[in-house]
Amino acid sequence: MAEQVVIIGSGPAGWSAAIYAARAELKPLVFEGAITEENRLAGTLPLGQLALTTEVENYAGFPAGDLKGFLESAIDPERFQYMFVHEGKHAVTGPELMELMRQQAVNFGTRIVTDDIVGVELQQRPFRLRLLGGETIETHALILATGARANYLGLPSEETYKNRGVSACAVCDGALPRFRNKPLIVVGGGDSAVEEATYLTKYASKVHLIHRRDKLRASKIMQERATNDPKIQIEWNHTLEEVLGNDKEGVTGVRLRSTVEDATRELPASGVFLAIGHTPNTAFLKGQIALTEKGYIQWSQPFRTTTSVEGVFAAGDAADDHYRQAITSAGTGCMAALDAERWLAAQGIH
C-alpha cells in the first residue's frame, strides 16, 4: 500500500515537515540518508549540515545554557548514549539540535529509514521511489528536503581546520569570538563572496577577498561595494594554496599562489571563509521535476512549497539558494507539511 507522505532528508526542513505531518496524523515516513563513506565524504550523512558544526547561536529558542540534563531527559536513551554532549554553559550544538528535532518527530509517530533515495518516478501517481539497495516504495505525496552542501576547494589543510577557523558560512560563524578584530580571508569572486566579505567587516579588522582573476564575477553594485569598502582588500589573481595553523590556535593564516607568476605569499588570518558556491543534493531528481540552472528545486508559486509536479513539495536549502539558514529551512519544512496535508485532503486521500 502506498504511504500518505514520504519525506526525503534529515536536516531542519525534513524534521520540521515530519513533526507537522505526524501531528496531522499523516504517519510520515522519513528517509534520513544512508551511513556510507560516500555520504561522509560529501558531508551528507543523516542529520544534515548542522551535524557538521559546533555551536549554533542563532536558532531561536536556544540561548546558551547548561543543556546536559535537558538533552538527557529529552532524547531516547538508546541514541543519547552515543551522543557527545558538551558539559557546562554553551549554545546548543548542531548535532544536539538535530537530535532534538529528530526525537520530536519520533515522539509524534514519525517512522524513519536510514537509507538514501537514489531514484524517483514522478510522472505517475502514487509516486515511486527507489532505495540504495534497489527496493521501491510508493507514496501519494512527497516532500523533498534533501538540503545542499557547501563547496570546498578540497585542500587537506581546509579539512584539518574546519570548525577551527575554516567555515563556509559567514552569517553562521562570523560573530564567533575567534574572528573578532582579526584579519579574515574570504575566497570567491561572485555576489555571495562579496556579501560574505561585507558581512565579516562588522567583526574583522580587515577582510582579504581572494580572487583568482583580475575581475570579480559579482554584479556591478556588489563590485562597487567591495572596492569602496576600506576594510576589504581584494587580492586579485591569487588562489588559496594552503590554510596555515596549529593545534592550539586553529587557523593562523593562509598561503596564496599567484595565478599570473610563479610566486606565493603568506597572510596572517584567524579565519578562512569559502564562498565558492553550494551544490544542492538534487542529482537524483534530474529529468523528474523542474530544477533551476544551479540545480535547486524550483518552487512554482511564491510563498508556497509546491513544485512543477502536483503532490510534490520542496523545503529547505534544496530549494533555497538565498537564505540557507536552519530556521528558514525549518520554516519551509512546516509549510511543506501543511501544503501536503491540504493537497492530500483535496485528493480525498487523507
Interaction of residue 188 with ligand FAD, rule CB under 6 A: no
Which of 4, 53, 139, 306 touches ligand FAD (CB under 6 A)? 53
Binding residues for ligand FAD, rule CB under 6 A, total 41
Interaction of residue 280 with ligand FAD, rule CB under 6 A: no
Which of 155, 327, 338, 349 touches ligand FAD (CB under 6 A)? 327
Interaction of residue 306 with ligand FAD, rule CB under 6 A: no
In the bound state with ligand FAD, the residue whose beta carbon lies nearer, of 169 and 338, is: 169
| SS3 letters across the chain | CCEEEEEECCCHHHHHHHHHHHHCCCCCEEECCCCCHHHHHHCCCCCCHHHHCCECCCCCCCCCEECHHHHHHHCCHHHHCCCCCCCCEECCEHHHHHHHHHHHHHHCCCEEECCCEEEEECCCCCEEEEECCCCEEEEEEEEECCCEEECCCCCHHHHHCECCCEECCHHHHCCCHHHCCCEEEEECCCHHHHHHHHHHCCCCCEEEEECCCCCCCCCHHHHHHHHHCCCEEEECCEEEEEEEEECCCEEEEEEEEECCCCCEEEEECCEEEECCCEEECCHHHCCCCCECCCCCECCCCCCCCECCCCCEEECHHHCCCCCCCHHHHHHHHHHHHHHHHHHHHHCCCC
Interaction of residue 95 with ligand FAD, rule CB under 6 A: no
Interaction of residue 285 with ligand FAD, rule CB under 6 A: no
Which of 316, 334, 339, 340 touches ligand FAD (CB under 6 A)? 316
Residues noted as catalytic: 169, 172-173
In the bound state with ligand FAD, the residue whose beta carbon lies nearer, of 59 and 236, is: 59
Which residues in the 98-137 window bind ligand FAD by CB under 6 A? 116-117
Interaction of residue 199 with ligand FAD, rule CB under 6 A: no
State the nearest-atom distance from the C-beta of 325 to ligand FAD, in Å: 4
What is the contact surface with ligand FAD in residues (CB under 6 A)? 8-14, 31-33, 44-46, 48-50, 52-53, 56, 58-59, 116-117, 145-148, 150, 168-169, 172, 281, 284, 316-318, 324-327, 329
